[in-house]
Amino acid sequence: MVQGTDALYTWSLTDLARGLKDGEFSSRELTESLLRRIDDHQQRLNAFITVTADAALQRADAADKARANGDESLLNGLPIVYKDLFCTKGVLTTCGSRILANFVSPYDATVVERISAAGAVMLGKTNMDEFAMGSSNETSYYGPVTNPWNKKLSPGGSSGGSAAAVAARIVPAATGTDTGGSIRQPAALTGTVGLKPTYGRVSRFGMVAFASSLDQAGVITRSAEDAALLLGVMAGYDKRDSTSVDHPVPDYVAGLSKPVKGLKIGIVRQHFDEGLAAGCEERVKAALAVLKEEGATLIEVDLPNIDLSVPTYYVVAPAECSSNLSRFDGVRFGHRADNPENLLDLYCRTRSEGFGAEVQRRIMTGTYVLSAGYYDAYYLKAQKVRQLISQDFKKAFENVDVIAGPTAPTTAFAIGEKTDDPITMYLNDIYTIGANLAGLPGISVPCGFADGLPVGLQLVGPHFAEETILACAHQYQQLTDWHAQGPEEFS
C-alpha cells in the first residue's frame, strides 16, 4: 500500500484509477482520506449539503472486495460527488432549496445509476444555487459557497459547490448541470475543467428540472482526460428521458490523442468586446496562440445574434421554470406551510416560505411571459431569436471545427457584489448561454491567471462533437500546466 494516503487528494481521477488497479492503495484508504478532507474544509467552503460518509465507506469496502474478485469496472472504487439536484435513492435531494429540505429521493437519477454501476463511491451531495438559478452560489438556502482561491469571492454558479470541492482538491471529480453556463462559468472562476455535453447526450431522468429545453448534465474535473473518462460512463440513450438522443457513444479517452494540427478554430468577434476584462482577454489570447503554434488555424467568425442570447435566455428559461416548479405546492412532497386556512393559503404560504427571492423572481417572470396577451410578444419572439442564434452557430461550423473564446467576462467576484443587481449577475453568463440555446457541447479549461485568479478558455463544438473539444482541451493541457495548479491554502 502507498505510504501517506493523505496525499491522495493531489491525484487526478485518472491517476487514482491507475493506482487502484495497480494495488497502490485501497478504495477504503482513498475514501477515508477524502472524507477527512471534507471534515477539514467544509466549514470554510460550505461546498456540501450532505456528506454520506457511512455509505461511502461501505461502498468502498464493496469495491475493494469486487476488485479482489476480478471486477475491473471503469470507476470501481473511485470517489464522486453529485450536485444536489441529482436524485439519489435514500439520500436528501434538496436542490439548495427550503422547499425540498426534507425530500429523500426514492430512486436514483440515470446519471447516478450509471456512475454507480461503474463502481464509483459517492461521498456526498454538493451545494448549489437554489434550483440551479444563479451564477454565484449565493441563492442557496444553505448559504453561499466560497471560492478556494479567495474565500471572500464567489466560486460561480449554479454548480458552485461541485466546482469549489474539485478546486480545493477535496474530490477529484463532481457532477454538475448547465442551463446557461452553470458548469463552465464556475469552472472558469475556480480553475477547474467544466464540460457541458450536447443537449440529449446525457440523460436528464432524475435530474430535477429548471428549464427542460436547456438543462444538461455534465462534469467538473481537474483535467480534460478526467472529464472524458466520466462522460464515457454517463453518456448514452435512456428510454426514460424523452429528450435523450440515441446516438453512438465514442471512446472519449481514446479520442484524446487527436492532434491540434489542422484544427480550424473559430474566434467570435463579439466575444472580445468592451465587456471582457483586460486580464481575461490577455490570457485567452495567449491560450489561442499556444494552439496556433501547435498547428491550429484561427479564423474569425461572426455570430450576429449572439448579443441577444442573454435576453432570450431570460425569457425562455423563466417560462420553463414557471411550469416545472408548479409541482412544488406543499401537497405531495417537500415543505408544507403550517395550519393553512384553505387550499389557496396552503399554496401561497408554502411557495412563499419555500422558494427564495431569485426563484420567485424567475417564476413570476416566466408566468408573465406565458400569460395571455404577452405570449406572442415575449415567449414566441424569444423562441424565434433562439432559432436565429442556433442558425448562426450552424453557419459558423461550416467553416470551423471548434469555436473558442473566454468562458466568463471577469475573474471571480466578491460574494455580495452583484446580488442587488440581477442584470449584472445575469451578464456573467454572456459567453456561455449561446451554447445552451443551440444545444451545443462546450468545455471550459484553465488558461492562466489574472490578478492571481483563474481564467477559463471556452471551446464549443457542433452537436455531438464532445470528442473534438475534449481532444483540443487535452492537447492544450499537454502543453500547459494551468490545470495542475491549485489554491495554495488547500494544497
- Is-contact 162 176, C-beta < 8 A? yes
Find the largest Cα–Cα distance for the chain.
Answer: 70
> Do residues 231 and 114 make contact, with C-beta atoms less than 8 angstroms apart?
no
Q: For the CA atoms of the chain, what is the radius of gyration?
A: 21
Angle at the Cα of 433 (from 125 to 370), degrees rounded to 5?
90
CA distances from 219 to 30, 115, 225, 370 (A): 21, 12, 12, 32
* C-alpha grid cell, residue 489: 491554502
In sequence order, the 6+-apart residues with CB closer than 8 A to the CB of 68 are none
Alpha-carbon gap, residue 28 to 77, rounded angstroms: 8
Residue where the block lists cell 408573465 = 368
How is residue 2 written as a grid cell?
Answer: 502507498
| Residues forming a β-bridge with 125 | 50, 82
The catalytic residues are 83, 158, 182
Grid coordinates representing 386? 433562439
Those residues with Cβ within 8 angstroms of residue 260's Cβ, 6 or more apart along the chain or in another chain: 291, 294, 295, 296, 472, 475, 476
* Residue 22 CA: distances (Å) to CA of 9, 30, 34, 73, 80: 18, 14, 20, 14, 20
C-alpha distances in angstroms, 357 versus 49, 140, 326? Answer: 20, 10, 16
Beta carbons of 111 and 69 less than 8 angstroms apart = no
